[in-house]
Amino acid sequence: MSDDYYYKIGTSTIDTNKLIALAKEESLWNDYYEFKVKKVPDELLQEDFFISWLRKKYDIGFGILKIHANSCYPWHRDGMRRTAINMLLTVGSHSHCIFNTDPTGNSFTHGIVDLAYEPSTFYAFNTTIPHEVINFEVDRYVLSTEFMGKNVALSYQQLINDIKSEYLRGL
């Protein structure tokens, strides 16, 4: 059932300590919808096999999303972004990313699916389903993708199919 909302891809070889250090630098944050975002330099990502595969296959960018402590990003769909690949950098902090199980997103009460991130793990994320982030205690940092150019309309299902048929098959 959770595959409709997110898909666990696998463990990353990225040095997340370097990404967290970058995130904690106060400079270079830009507004992105209601988030703050910071572009990730290519050299911090080049060692990861999955990211190398992504870059060969798609026109894609990488950034760190920041949600301040004791805040939430309410129920939403991601506009034009139909899918993303995320990795939570602040694993062990108290935060939740939850999906609404009502496909219309209109019910006042509804079921939820919680994405319980594992350390250093990539997840494909269905951004067309209503989801919300609730964050406590510390700033929350997520490495996230933006599919660009000819790939801006890439669907979640097509991304999952590509990962299963090309990336995972090649491991």
- pTM comes to 0.93
**Mean pLDDT across the stretch 69-96?**
91
Q: Work out the pLDDT band at 99, boundaries 50, 70, 90.
A: very high
Burial of residue 147, with CB atoms counted within 10 A of its CB: 0-12 exposed, 13-18 middle, 19 or more buried: buried
- The structural domain count of the chain equals 1
- Can you give the pLDDT at residue 53? 95
Q: Which domain holds residue 37?
A: 2-170
Whole-angstrom Cα distance, residue 85 to residue 145? 5
According to DSSP, residue 101 is labeled S
CATH number of the CATH domain containing 147: 2.60.120.620
| Residue 17, phi then psi, degrees to nearest 5 | -60, -35
Each residue of 103-123: pLDDT tens digit?
Answer: 776 778 889 999 999 999 999
Q: Which of 71-85, 105-119, 130-144 has the highest mean pLDDT?
A: 130-144
Please answer whether residues 112 and 101 qualify as being in contact, where contact means their C-beta atoms are separated by less than 8 angstroms.
yes
> What percent of the chain has pLDDT above 90?
75
